[in-house]
Homo-oligomer: A and B are copies of this chain.
Amino acid sequence: MVSDRPLKVALLGCGVVGSQVARLMTTHADDLAARIGAPVELAGVAVRRPAKARGGVAPHLVTSDAAGLVGRGDIDVVVELIGGIEPARGLINAAFDAGASVVTANKALLAQDGPALHAAAEEHGADLYFEAAVAGAIPLLRPLRESLAGDKVNRVLGIVNGTTNFILDRMESSGAGYGEALEEATALGYAEADPTADVEGFDAAAKAAILAGIAFHTRVRLDDVHREGITEVTAADIASARKMGCTVKLLAICERAEDGRSVTARVHPAMIPLGHPLASVREAYNAVFVEADAAGQLMFYGPGAGGAPTASAVLGDLVAACRNKLGGGRGPGESAYAALPVSPMGEVVTRYHISLDVVDKPGVLAQCATVFADHGVSIDTVRQTGKDGEAQLVVVTHRAPDAALSGTVEALRRMDTVHGVASIMRVEGE
């Protein structure tokens, strides 16, 4: 049942992931042909600097003319691994115009321009697959889009950035500060020379926007995602978390409001109990919880980045796109019919862990407790430790709207008896 005509694939970008895609297309060629029903041929590889040696890719396939490769008229599937907005966006649109389907790992572009890309795919009857854009090798988007298509997802919560998880894991295990842990991550290749996209949470926020959109069948833009990175997390925060039986993770959290009429998406560091399965996700691994009405609580775990794992996700999508090219039919397109509004961070209901430096005299705890009460925030526990006229109050709240919690913190900062707010962190995973 294997067809003779090979399906032709154009690969755009041949870096860490692209080179693995090219390698696997060669080493797994027979398996891919059997699984698709036709051979798959690497028709060309577009790179910025063709002179640079590309291990395993035949030199005559390498070109710097990406547009020419995409537009040459016989390409069935374009695999876009350039990343960023342009020229990736233009090339993807050119691919659809030329009748090709597209597989991409480009989370930034999808988070910014997903609806337009989906519309272009739809218009041309083509596929747009992007499993590799979120959580690397972990099958997550396909389960959300297809396996849970008959269910109602209420929450997606997970670790979706390997770099920051590596850094926080090192801080946790060695007691190192943020700077030292970042240096180690950079030296080991877990962080890029400019780590901003990872450590400031931009990468995770793009993934949260994609996940929330798919999970809730609505459009969530990158700007809709509340974003805080890990650069302010201190060794003291981690030690303080440990004292409450918690650890600190950078979480992406997408939630449906209890009344079902709006959704929220956010990325920020949070304390989670050591007994929570996400607490034991080490190094650069990713893990994502999905809570659905009927399915209950599901967890997906695996390598969230890296050349070969990400290439595995790309190839899974490539097989799907090729099968559709051969057999007719299309993969799922955009599903945004629910059109739910995205609520601002202030409406998110969560818990705070707050460390305050206060004057060590009677009545201060009561004063502070009054501020919490005035803002409608109920206190779960207070721990007071003091020495040399200075005391520290560590307050953990019950669940309250984020706006009420941040209002409380502002009011605390204005108090004469409060010298400073040493740290604020949300508490999740209970």
How many A residues touch the partner, as a band? Answer: 35 or more
Q: A142-B142, A329-B327 are in contact. Are A295 and B309 (CB under 8 A)?
A: yes
- Chain B residue numbers with a CB within 8 Å of A131 are 147
Question: Any chain B CB within 8 A of the CB of A137?
Answer: yes
Q: A34-B335, A337-B34 are in contact. Are A295 and B324 (CB under 8 A)?
A: no
- A295 to chain B: which residues have CB within 8 Å? 137, 302-303, 308-309, 312-313
Is B294 within 8 A of A24, CB to CB?
yes
Are the C-beta atoms of A324 and B329 separated by less than 8 Å?
Answer: yes
Contact of A302 with B312 in the complex, beta carbons under 8 Å: no
A298: nearest residue on chain B (CB-CB)?
A: B302
* Structural contact, A35 and B316, CB atoms closer than 8 A: no
CA–CA, A142 to B139, complex, Å?
Answer: 9
Chain B neighbourhood of A320, CB < 8 A: 146, 149
Within 8 A of B (CB), among A312-336: 312-320, 323-324, 327-330, 332, 335
**Residue-by-residue, is A77-90 near B (CB-CB < 8 Å gives 1, otherwise 0)?**
00000000000000
Q: Cβ of A150 and Cβ of B294 under 8 Å apart?
A: no
Q: Which residue of B lies closest to A311 (CB)?
A: B294
Q: Which residues of B contact A300 (CB under 8 A)?
A: 298-301
Q: Tell me if A28 counts as interface (CB < 8 A to partner B).
A: yes
The answer to whether A152 and B28 have CB atoms under 8 Å apart is yes
Whether a CB of chain B sits under 8 angstroms from the CB of A180 is no
Cα(A303)–Cα(B142), bound, Å: 19
Q: Are A308 and B330 in contact (CB under 8 A)?
A: no
**Closest Cβ of chain B: how far from A184's Cβ, in Å?**
22
Name 17 interchain pairs, CB-CB below 8 A, sorted by A: A34-B217, A34-B338, A35-B217, A138-B298, A139-B143, A142-B142, A148-B316, A149-B315, A150-B314, A150-B318, A293-B312, A295-B308, A295-B313, A296-B302, A298-B300, A324-B329, A328-B329
10 closest Cβ contacts across the A-B interface? A329-B329, A150-B315, A139-B147, A139-B143, A137-B295, A294-B312, A298-B302, A149-B319, A295-B312, A299-B301
